[in-house]
């Protein structure tokens, strides 16, 4: 596993052994994911939920994101994320947290331009977490979800609208966007 592009290109990333704790995103899928958001990365505030090794958030930082918040509930994974961030020279733009995603999101007061969601497959996590992620996405922000191909997600989740689905072998990428119009509506309510 490595960083594909940007300032940390070619750097190797450590991962936890086995796939019971983490399931690293394949390079082909990761390349596709970042092709989808390439023009939205410079200066972006990124949230990497279910960070695992941190490879998605580190890739975003390497490609120009301003900062990234990483979250995983496994202490070993969090330690690997910190180590990988240091080894890739992006630790100063990283905040690494340990905790459960729903609890973190419920307490979160930040808004993110890009949220990367790669939760465990087969347990309904993605379906249950998307509505909670909604409140943390900035107007014009993007949520990229990775899932198995048989999963069906709604066209709208709160203020998020499904823009496109991409299939790569046994993996689906979902691109949700919070329209910029939400910003005008929120200002009108104030």
Q: Identify whether the C-beta of residue 16 lies closer than 8 Å to the C-beta of residue 22.
A: yes
Which letter, b or e, does each residue of 88-108 get, where b requires 16 or more Cβ atoms within 10 Å of its Cβ? Answer: bebbeebebebeebeebbeeb
Q: Which residues of the chain have pLDDT under 50?
A: 21, 182-183, 190
The pTM (predicted TM-score) of the whole model is 0.89
Q: Which residues pair with 98 in a beta bridge?
A: 72
Q: Which domains does the chain have, with CATH numbers?
A: 27-189 (3.40.50.150)
Q: What is the pLDDT of residues 125-177, one digit of tens each?
A: 888 899 999 999 999 999 999 988 888 889 999 999 999 999 988 889 999 99
User: Residue holding tokens 């990229």?
Assistant: 144
- Beta-carbon-side half-sphere exposure of residue 65 (alpha carbons within 13 Å): 31
User: Residue holding tokens 């390439």?
Assistant: 38
């Amino acid at each position: 596993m490595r960083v594909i592009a940007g300032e940390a290109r070619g750097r190797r990333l450590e991962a936890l052994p086995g796939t019971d704790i983490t399931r690293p995103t394949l390079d082909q899928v990761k390349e596709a994911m970042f092709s989808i958001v390439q023009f939205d990365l410079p200066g972006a505030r990124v949230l990497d939920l279910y960070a695992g090794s941190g490879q998605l958030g580190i890739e975003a930082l390497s490609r120009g994101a301003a900062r990234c918040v990483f979250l995983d509930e496994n202490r070993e994974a969090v330690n690997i994320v910190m180590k990988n961030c240091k080894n890739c020279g992006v630790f100063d733009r990283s905040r690494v947290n340990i905790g459960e995603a729903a609890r973190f999101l419920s307490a979160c007061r930040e808004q993110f331009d890009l949220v990367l969601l790669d939760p465990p497959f087969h347990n309904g996590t993605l379906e249950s977490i998307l509505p909670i992620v909604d409140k943390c996405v900035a107007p014009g922000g993007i949520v990229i979800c990775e899932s198995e191909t048989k999963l069906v997600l709604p066209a709208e989740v709160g203020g998020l609208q499904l823009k496109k689905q991409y299939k790569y072998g046994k993996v689906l990428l979902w691109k949700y966007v919070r329209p910029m119009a939400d910003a005008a509506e929120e200002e009108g309510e104030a």
